[in-house]
Chains A and B, each alone.
Chain A
């Protein structure tokens, strides 16, 4: 079945450091790919998305490119801030199953001043 794997955390970075969170997926067909963010005590927020191969999603300085050949959707940010501390979930939307979202286990990010 469809699944998402992402790098285990927690990840701790200093402010202004470069961030990469790896994500790979297994899916039939051509799913849409997402990164969601969950700040402490809050619900899920869509951070960025890509709906087809080679698309680049971007938002708030974060970027991820849909790589079909490597079935990957790695999240990157050039300079993290303390306010980026949160849990990040890679996810895919299964078009063959009415767009239910399948999430990875999440990666906790802590940014220290």
Chain B
């Protein structure tokens, strides 16, 4: 089975522009999460979606938004890009997103490398 896929692989934008990143979860997975990994740091949680509803949001400005589609794929949108948005954006999928569940392993995609000039 295919793993989590993300597109595009690499992207170069200029300050002030808008960007859309895409993620397809593993077949059967209903939860998608987004993470930002700045060079030299650990990934930081941005959003989690489950069954097309936002279930969690990290400490990111409103310029960041996301949505999940009926087929469980997801888009991450970033408006008014800043130089500091340059990072590897990781998408992860899991079967469910139920609070208190014993364990829901997240499977990560290869990421989209965004460079803002």
Chain A residues proximal to chain B, CB less than 8 Å: 4, 32, 36, 42-46, 49, 51, 89, 91, 93, 95-106
User: If the complex has contacts A44-B90, A105-B42, are A96 and B106 also in contact, measured as CB distance less than 8 A?
Assistant: no
15 contacts between A and B (CB under 8 A): A42-B110, A44-B43, A45-B108, A46-B107, A89-B43, A93-B106, A96-B99, A98-B50, A98-B99, A99-B101, A101-B33, A103-B35, A103-B42, A103-B44, A104-B42
- Decide if B33 touches A100 in the complex (CB within 8 Å): yes
Alpha-carbon distance between A106 and B42 when the two chains are bound, in angstroms: 6
Q: Report chain B residues within 8 Å CB of A96.
A: 99-100
User: If the complex has contacts A43-B108, A98-B56, are A89 and B42 also in contact, measured as CB distance less than 8 A?
Assistant: yes
Which of B86-107 touch A at CB < 8 Å? 90, 92, 94, 97-107
Closest to B43 in A: A103
Chain B residues proximal to chain A, CB less than 8 Å: 31, 33, 35, 40-45, 48, 50, 55-56, 58, 90, 92, 94, 97-111
Chain A interface helix/strand/loop/mixed: strand
Alpha-carbon distance between A98 and B47 when the two chains are bound, in angstroms: 11
Q: Report chain A residues within 8 Å CB of B106.
A: 93, 99, 101
Q: Report chain B residues within 8 Å CB of A95.
A: 99-101
Alpha-carbon distance between A4 and B45 when the two chains are bound, in angstroms: 13
CB A50 to nearest CB in B, in angstroms, measures: 10
CB B72 to nearest CB in A, in angstroms, measures: 15
Most buried by B among A43, A51, A96, A105: A43
- Decide if A32 touches B103 in the complex (CB within 8 Å): yes
CB B69 to nearest CB in A, in angstroms, measures: 19
